[in-house]
Amino acid sequence: MNISIFGLGYVGCVGAACCARLGHHVIGNDISENRVNLINQGKPTIIETDIEELVRSAHDQGLLEATMDHRYAVHNSELSIIAVGTPISREGHLDLSYIYGVARQIGEALADKDEFHIIAIRSTVLPGTSVKVGEIIEEVSGKVRGEDFTVVSNPEFLREGTAVHDYMNPPFTLIGTDSEYAERKFRELYKDIPGEFIAADIEVAEIMKYVNNTYHGLKIAFTNEVGNICKALGIDSHKVMEIFCKDRQLNLSPYYFKPGFAYGGSCLPKDSKALRTLAHDLYVDVPVINAINPSNERQKKNAVDIIESKGQRRIGILGLSFKSGTDDLRCSPIIDVAEILLGKGYEIRIYDKNVRISQTAGINADFITAKLPHLYEIISDDLDTVCEESDVLVVTNKEKEFAEIPARYPHKCIVDLVRQFTELDYDGNYEGISWENININPAQQKKIVRTMIKAEF
């Protein structure tokens, strides 16, 4: 393929050298004459492991050149990659002026180019940037996005010092696009790169770099706080974390990484509280660990807010235990939600067959009577009755029997706390706690007649 890369700094230089290594012809573009001259002399614009040999080899094979002429770069390529800087302000806002400046240059070049052109944003940008870049190119070029060109997101996940290795051996390659043609071209571009090729919505790709790096920062801060606690106790923190990392079923795995309701149960709340208390007693400041419980409590409040927003008095809670397949009510987060709603005058009905069975058998009857006396009489094992007598159905556990709720009980409001459904065509109102609306039925837009007025203070 013929590729042009706008910006020959860190990301651009590595990308240009690696694309050439994959056998593509690359034209680098930069406003810096010095950078352009370096590439045309077969020299890299950065200091990085293995980059010098890659650039020299690409130059010697005639696969890598550079220019300050943006028209030449666009006219002699089918794909333009934007890899300019996005500096951040003191307040935390991105300066996208370099991105938009390149978009105008590409638009100028496309004004007199007939062939379809792909523009890929490799720089780290916030969701919505691709849309704005497309608008700028349309305005400057007079061309139409989707007909004459397309804009995609292709974020990089490179670490300084190992950037070449990371480029050639990624955990996955991510493309955000709404163009099948662009997806095919990127599959061709990266066909010799190992790892899964993922095509996603543009906004998903745009936010991934921020999610990744913020989580990496969270891991470092968490590990350092654990280390500080261990130091105060005279424990080898590296040995602790070495063992921690050996658990690839839970600790280092996709488990727990699905947005949804607050955590509960007998372990997570108790043990995290114990660790916070231990740090406090040792006079060790652990702001990250201390922030976990308030964040969890905030998610309970979010659930209450969503339920209240439906304006209906009769609430059916489907699942009272802290997770499916158990009758364990210890620290179940939905209990707090139910108690808040009861205190505000809502009519609550609860379905949980496991809890009801154990309650009848006397297994946890004492616990329920002592800790939850106001919920004792409203726990049922009759799903139909609870659903029929409720206007809002709150799904709190991923039980198989809840999968048919939309079909069996139309016109109701469903509040999904666990992503029970992946997509819906439901004639009632649906809302998930931490994901966008997945209901495609036009009835979703109908105004709800409120029976419970929430006072605003």
Domain extents for the chain?
A: 2-200, 207-251, 298-445
Q: Alpha carbon 92 to chain centroid distance?
A: 19
Tell me how crowded residue 68 is: count the other CB atoms within 10 A of its CB. 15
298-445, CATH topology level: Rossmann fold (3.40.50)
Spatial distance between the Cα atoms of 456 and 19, rounded to a whole number of angstroms: 58
Pairing between β-strand 79-82 and β-strand 429-432 as defined by DSSP bridges:
unpaired
Spatial distance between the Cα atoms of 203 and 68, rounded to a whole number of angstroms: 31
The edge-to-edge listing of strands for the beta sheet with 196-200 is: 64-67, 25-29, 2-6, 79-82, 117-121, 149-153, 172-176, 196-200
Polymer length in residues for the chain:
457
Pairing between β-strand 392-395 and β-strand 196-200 as defined by DSSP bridges:
unpaired
- Of residues 18, 19, 230, 267, which has the active-site annotation? 267
Contact call for residues 13 and 88 (beta carbons, < 8 A): no
Task: Please determine whether the domains at 2-200 and 298-445 fall in the same fold group of CATH.
Answer: yes
13 among known catalytic residues: no
Residues in CB range of 454: below 8 A, 6 or more apart: 308, 309, 311
pLDDT of residue 454: 64
Contact call for residues 119 and 83 (beta carbons, < 8 A): no
Taking alpha carbons only, the member of 132, 156, 140 closest to residue 74 is 140
pLDDT of residue 244: 94
Over the Cα atoms of the chain, what is R_g?
28
Spatial distance between the Cα atoms of 45 and 34, rounded to a whole number of angstroms: 9
Is domain 2-200 classified as CATH 3.10.20.30? Answer: no
Determine the residue type at 363: I
pLDDT, block means (10 residues), the chain with 457 residues: 96 96 97 96 93 96 98 98 87 87 98 97 92 97 97 92 93 96 97 95 93 89 92 93 93 87 84 89 93 92 94 94 79 90 93 76 63 76 94 93 92 93 91 90 87 65
Determine the residue type at 218: L
